[in-house]
Amino acid sequence: MRVAIVGGGVVGITTALQLKSELRNSNIEVYGEKYEDIVSYVGAGLFSVGKSFSGPSEEITRNWMNDSYEFYDEIRKSREAARAGVVEISGYMFSEGPTPVRNPWMESVVPSYRRVTEEELKLPGGDWKYGVYFTTIITQCKWYLPWAKRQLEQTGTKFYKRKLYNLNELIDDYDVIMNCAGLGAGELCGDRRMIPLRGQVLKVKAPWLKTFFYGNLDTYIIPGIDGSCTLGGTRNFDSTRMSPCSHETRAIHERCTNLLPSLKNAEVIESVVGLRPHRDGGVRVEVEKISNGLKSATVVHNYGHGGYGICTAPGTAKYAIKLARDAHLNTSSKL
């Protein structure tokens, strides 16, 4: 197949990586408006998928999570783990109530997941009533995306820096178009369900920290593999403001240092903002046929991951590739 992948973020690059692995003879070319300074680099990359994440069905959503964890875990166990920025990490998720924080989806995926002890509930940062401790994976896109891009370039994948205004621009040259445009899919496909979900985080230096912590009000502390640490966060629907807000920076710092007082003396690196590609109704992974009147092509949409793009990109990519392969075989059999 001649395949165009639209989108240079974690979903697009991971889809290309999966496609090259599953269909080695495919000719893949990637189109990205930009490959750096994107939302994929803002996220901390912790594999922790909330209960609100949803695909077409519960079974498919569970498969996406299982396939994604397996994908990253294979990298973690390989010699490429350090270069790819994929490591194992453990940590806590606390809540003051009114409901427990137990997540059955995560519990069925990660290797270790348990309720915290009474002693652990006394950890600083709040009057905790519930909590879990689990082991998972962290994927830092600062390393992962350049690593994945190198893997693809070594096997002949080409990358183009280009803004597309309509998917029909690619019909003449490709059999299949994988639309992983993220937030850009709103304009590209006329999908009015797509809205930006603004997130602001604070990056600090905390090389001593090896455990992640979650509290209430989108408060989280996630150590990176380079001694940096991501403190979060915010959740502003339909906001496109890209400059950091000083009030939010102070609020994030205050919440996180209350949760973990040892961070009070951590050196601040920067405040960063990213626009998550949120889609009302859940992630869109489905097939569509498009035509310019002379030629038609198969489009497989794979976008709308919200804040879970890094976590679930491998799973949705694998599902999208199956849809693409089935659609292509079905079209070929009719010719």
Over residues 97-114, the pLDDT tens digits come to 877 888 988 999 999 999
Q: How far apart (Å, rounded) are the C-alpha atoms in residues 98 and 295?
A: 56
Cα distances (Å, whole numbers) of residue 225 to 112, 131, 141, 305, 313:
20, 25, 11, 24, 21
More confident residue, 130 or 100: 130
Q: Looking at residue 332, what is its pLDDT?
A: 56
Q: Looking at residue 335, what is its pLDDT?
A: 43
Query: In this predicted model, what pLDDT tens digit does every residue of 24-43 receive, in sequence order?
Result: 888 999 999 988 888 998 98
**Taking all residues of the chain, what is their mean pLDDT, rounded to a whole number?**
93
pLDDT at 57 over 80: yes
pLDDT at 218 over 50: yes
Quick check: 101 and 95 in contact, CB under 8 A? yes
| Residue 155 domain boundaries | 2-334
Confidence band, pLDDT 50/70/90 cuts, at residue 122: confident
**How large is the average pLDDT for residues 287-301?**
92
Strand, coil or helix: what is 279? strand
| Tokens linked to 51 | 């209960």
Q: How far apart (Å, rounded) are the C-alpha atoms in residues 255 and 218?
A: 10
Count of the separate structural domains present in the chain: 1
Q: Looking at residue 211, what is its pLDDT?
A: 96
CATH code of the domain covering residue 161: 3.40.50.720
| Tokens linked to 179 | 């639309």
Confidence band, pLDDT 50/70/90 cuts, at residue 334: low
Quick check: 43 and 310 in contact, CB under 8 A? yes
Distance spanning both ends of the chain, measured CA to CA: 15
Residue 179 amino acid letter: N
Least confident among 67-76, 207-216, 320-329 = 320-329
| Tokens linked to 215 | 């509290």
